[in-house]
Structure 1
């Protein structure tokens, strides 16, 4: 979950100073692009000339692929064919591998895997809703909010992989960071749930920082190195907090804590898929496979949440009985 954003920024930071890649830098690609735009596009590159519009399928029209973007896509694959005919490796374009569009979707495998993650969160959120009322158990309302943040983040991940635009990029990064910070906040809230004022004071600064950071993301070009550092910090602090707390709970005999410990370790292990960074097989690259590998992990985490809510519910009943006896 929260390791998703951490890895995105580690990988993207490699390209933070690069404006072009082998593919889009090649003369063949540049010449193809000029020829295509001259023949098919209006002067601004957004619209098609009337005859050229008929060549674009209905799915690309629905997803609002501009003429310039359509030319970039077709010239990209012509360039890939040229590289492979000469025995060269598949090149990247603007720091990204080439992907085959599917019904107009730009990165279909990553979009599909993001959708699976979204579905997992929706399913487990419904499980919490069915099992607990907001008033009956401490922290239920918080976990509803947590699930909403995660569902929103995976929604924008799906949209971003469907159509990569400056706005969808901003929303994906901003919402992904909200998921990183939500798991960090969740660790603080769970550890200090009996000391609400202290937890609120502890979280005030990170919350304000997130608001300021999102404002910064929206203000201009993203500094990927800076974003990486932000996500690394909150990701590491959150994971360490969960692991230390889970260890203490297990020592105290609270066996359900093993799930959050395994979830945290498994999420970290899934990063190895992203670091492979190989050319896509059809539409499946390392990033898409990593998203696919994280899809079942929320089942483990929310199972911990449900067990922990039962534990807190029973603790609340025991506390009431103790007060009655005294």
Structure 2
């Protein structure tokens, strides 16, 4: 599945730090730096067939759209605006990055090789350590307030015994009073530069998000080879599906790079790649549902429109300040349209164009023509066959919309439901567990099995399109590609030659008939020469030309008879003497002109 909507995480949301989350400064912690996070890759399948399911899924999609579009964005977060964080970063950069004297506030050691390899700078490392320092201080402060409140109430209880419930209520009251006097950054884990505090690993700011992005890349990699082998060659959109898989692989690769190091250029490449996946998914879905075949005028115009829209989108975001709100809205709208198209197809396939009854014969003939040149054209190799082709896909004359039986539609609805539910992980954002696993990483993990399900469904749908004859291309013509023009030219020349020869033969046949008619009227036996000449055919004497054969025969009784044969089609004027001796020794002569 390939939709992946781009949503920023610059919300400034905060959550209380648990007692178990402090991490020491000197530990080789790992990080996150400036990053606006977006949901990636929303695979949009088809949907449900009952009206209650329709209403629930539609409401869910609309709620997701409204939440994403109305989500506030900010260029700064609670953490990086705090004076504590700024003081820490200024102290670190002054002590380490500018070779000044240590002021005792913050000190960072020289960067190890792995950090330099992943393009960490001294300032980046200072920011990373300061985010953990501020978060650790907040956790320790909360822990100290809770400890002091318990100790104070215990001392009061020793002087005047109280019940456990009253004791717990007093402890809670003391904690709430002291916590209310603190700013969020002093008592909670907050976001810095639009992202949570993560432990870096081998220079990667969000190691689990990187890992899950690479897992998604692997799913698309496997799907690429699966589609090359299992998609029938006569399925019109085979190349379109393969190109979409390559676009998705590119997007997940840049997602892994972006989660490794959040830089301005990695962020833009990640966003632009995500947008290309969404547009590509919309393109191939519309082409499949509306039967827009490659090579047609509609296909070319639709492709240019989608590419132009994507180009303008990238151009607008590349000029001036990056518009996060617009980027999110544009991707969500296109992704939602893609999802709703499949939802509508799942609920009512007849909404979309299908083969009319009058086209059934034509498409069945096209299927037969496609199978004539090579049975492998309709073959569907399986993984167990090591690339060898299986028997051809059977072609039926019963042409109806594919993937409309109950099992396929339920499968499609399941995929859509899972994908919609996975988006909730992006909306219900929470601080990373143990500073390594957050909602965004879980969302990337959830898309791994859903994407595989989506590709399996697409392959089955394509095979059904071909096996039923609902939509296929004539491989005997389309696969030739560059040879098509030369083949047509050769056929044209042959047809011209045949037409000229046929016209000449028609004229000669008319002349032959006329001459034979005249010979019969003259009392001669006329025949159209078969051996000596025939119209349009070469006999013993050759091909084209006019031959008059005068044959004299002597009968056995000594009587003489003359027969004239007029023939067309003999090659040239030749003389032929033939003698035949009968019982009386008679002779005969024949002349050919």
TM tier, shorter chain?
Answer: 0.7 to 0.9
Q: Which residue of 1 aligns with 2:135?
A: 80
Deviation by residue 1:73-128 (Cα, 9 ceiling, x = unmatched):
01111111111122211111012111110111011111111111111111122111
Q: 1:160 aligns with which of 235, 258, 262?
A: 258
Task: Give the root-mean-square deviation of aligned CA atoms.
Answer: 2.7
Structure 2 SS opposite 1:94: coil
- In the superposition, relative to structure 1, how do residues 211 and 73 fare at CA in structure 2: closer, same or farther (>3 Å)? same
After TM superposition, the score normalised by the length of structure 2 is 0.49
Q: Does 1:280 align with 2:441?
A: no
Q: Which entry has the higher C-alpha Rg, 1 or 2?
A: 2
In 2, are the aligned partners of 1:192 and 1:198 still within 8 Å (CA)?
no
Once superposed, which parts of structure 1, at least 4 consecutive aligned residues long, lie more than 6 Å away? 9-13, 317-321
Aligned residues: 311
Q: Distance in 2 between matches of 1:320 and 1:153?
A: 30
Q: Distance in 2 between matches of 1:320 and 1:254?
A: 27
**Structure 1 residue 227: Cα displacement:** 1.2
- In the superposition, relative to structure 1, how do residues 72 and 14 fare at CA in structure 2: closer, same or farther (>3 Å)? farther
Q: 1:30 aligns with which of 65, 81, 86?
A: 86
**Structure 1 residue 258: Cα displacement:** 4.2
1:88-237 matches, within 5 Å, as 88-132=187-231, 135-193=233-291, 196-237=296-337
- In the superposition, relative to structure 1, how do residues 278 and 252 fare at CA in structure 2: closer, same or farther (>3 Å)? closer
Of Structure 1 and Structure 2, the greater strand share is in 2
Q: Distance in 2 between matches of 1:79 and 1:14?
A: 26
In 2, are the aligned partners of 1:6 and 1:235 still within 8 Å (CA)?
no
**Structure 1 residue 274: Cα displacement:** 1.2
After TM superposition, the score normalised by the length of structure 1 is 0.86
Q: Distance in 2 between matches of 1:273 and 1:139?
A: 33
Q: 2:460 aligns with which of 302, 307, 315?
A: 307
Q: Does 1:39 align with 2:68?
A: no
Q: Which of 192-201 and 182-191 deviates more?
A: 192-201
In 2, are the aligned partners of 1:23 and 1:80 still within 8 Å (CA)?
no
Of Structure 1 and Structure 2, the greater helix share is in 1
Larger RCO, structures 1/2 (Cα 8 Å, 6+ apart): 1
Q: Distance in 2 between matches of 1:226 and 1:81?
A: 36
Deviation by residue 1:286-305 (Cα, 9 ceiling, x = unmatched):
11111111111111111012
Q: Which residue of 2 aligns with 1:67?
A: 122
Structure 2 SS opposite 1:23: coil
Q: Which residue of 1 aligns with 2:113?
A: 58
- In the superposition, relative to structure 1, how do residues 257 and 126 fare at CA in structure 2: closer, same or farther (>3 Å)? farther
Unaligned runs of 5+ in 1: 44-51, 322-326
**Structure 1 residue 3: Cα displacement:** 4.7
Q: Distance in 2 between matches of 1:75 and 1:121?
A: 38
In 2, are the aligned partners of 1:259 and 1:303 still within 8 Å (CA)?
no
**Structure 1 residue 250: Cα displacement:** 7.3
Unaligned runs of 5+ in 2: 8-37, 40-66, 100-106, 143-186, 350-400, 475-593
- In the superposition, relative to structure 1, how do residues 106 and 139 fare at CA in structure 2: closer, same or farther (>3 Å)? same
Q: Distance in 1 between matches of 2:319 and 2:472?
A: 50
